[in-house]
Amino acid sequence: MKTVLVTGGAGFLGSHLCDYLLAKNEKVICIDNLFTGSKENIKHLFENGDFKFINHDIIDPLYLDDVIIDQIYNLACPASPIHYQLNPVRTVKANTIGVINMLGIAKKHKARIFQASTSEVYGDPLEHPQKENYRGNVNTIGPRACYDEGKRVAETLFFDYHRNHKVDIRIVRIFNTYGPRMAINDGRVVSNFIIQALQGNPITIYGQGEQTRSFCYVDDLIRGIYTLMNTDNFTGPVNIGNPNEFTIKELADLVVELTGNKSGLIFKDLPQDDPQKRKPDISLAREVLNWEPQKQLKEGLRSTIDYFKSVLSYEK
Ligand code: UDP
């Protein structure tokens, strides 16, 4: 039985990953500082003898000398623009000091380590769709830089530990992902639109809504991450995302159609450095991991809408 560490394990993606790993009979140590993660996401696991939760910030040293760690999934970092910009220096610390701490554990335990990288390493891309060999267009001094540059240097650290200390690394570049357990206050587009629609409020479109994103359902993403982690002789980085591209206006129309919201749309200013388009080229994931997303947007939105309906009715 493998013992795996999941940092950010109480977050949206992390908690789904914990569920998936436990279902695969792995022992899970979940680390989270609960800044954006929540105990609500993992409370169903507290009775499980193979699951342990430690409230800890990866920026601080972590000693796990009483266990042998086989694998580490490093997901710890706020991922929504409003959250990673709240304390940008802390975001950089999570991706530098925090990542060095986790790589140190991997080195000591001879554990394979996974990094949750991001499509944000491509910035506002000048190549479309984005392939892994595209080096990106990031504004180093903009409001998104703490996350984008943080995630870029995290990839650098992973490869330096790999070259210099033979640490066994895996890197996925995650494209926009959505699904149940996104936080109500997350601020990202899918959860914002669904919550606004369910509450009968107008949907807030930033800019004209002509910018595009490609949305991946959480279950597809988790399967991709797990497949990479358990594939030999391939470090990545590899894009994992759904290549079906939508404008933000199209997404709003779809949410309106599925919820029957009649409050219309309102247009607000486009945030600075908001990428104009984004779509993964997933040929590498197809070829090496035999991975392909299965759930398309409409179906995934239905499940996510059902989730938010139950959360919002519970909150009343
Ligand atoms: N967006 C929007 N309305 C919202 C939230 C986001 O129009 O209420 C837009 C945002 O400007 C961006 C896209 O939706 O162009 C995706 O934003 P999100 O924060 O989900 O993720 P990003 O891909 O920008 O990191």
**CATH for 251:** 3.90.25.10
Residues 209 and 117 in one domain: no
Residues 114 and 49 in one domain: yes
135-176 pLDDT, tens digit per residue, is 999 999 999 999 999 999 999 999 999 999 999 999 999 999
Residues 169 and 122 in one domain: yes
Contact yes or no for 211/277 (Cβ under 8 A): yes
Residues 130 and 202 in one domain: no
63 is catalytic: no
Ligand 1 atom index nearest CA of 203: 8
Ligand 1 pocket, 267 CB below 6 A? no
Closest CA to 107 of 163, 29, 174: 163
Structurally, how many domains does the chain consist of?
2
234-265 pLDDT, tens digit per residue, is 999 999 999 999 999 999 999 999 999 989 99
Q: Return the pLDDT at 225.
A: 98
What is this structure's pTM? 0.98
Spell out the SS3 assignment of 227-268: HHHCCCCCCCCEEECCCCEEEHHHHHHHHHHHHCCCCCEEEE
Residues 206 and 305 in one domain: yes
* Rounded distance from Cα 8 to ligand 1 centre (Å): 22
Residues 126 and 145 in one domain: yes
Domain that holds residue 37: 3-178+216-240
Residues 34 and 136 in one domain: yes
Ligand 1 pocket, 168 CB below 6 A? no
User: Which of the residues in the chain have pLDDT under 70?
Assistant: 316
Q: Return the pLDDT at 314.
A: 75
Residues 12 and 138 in one domain: yes
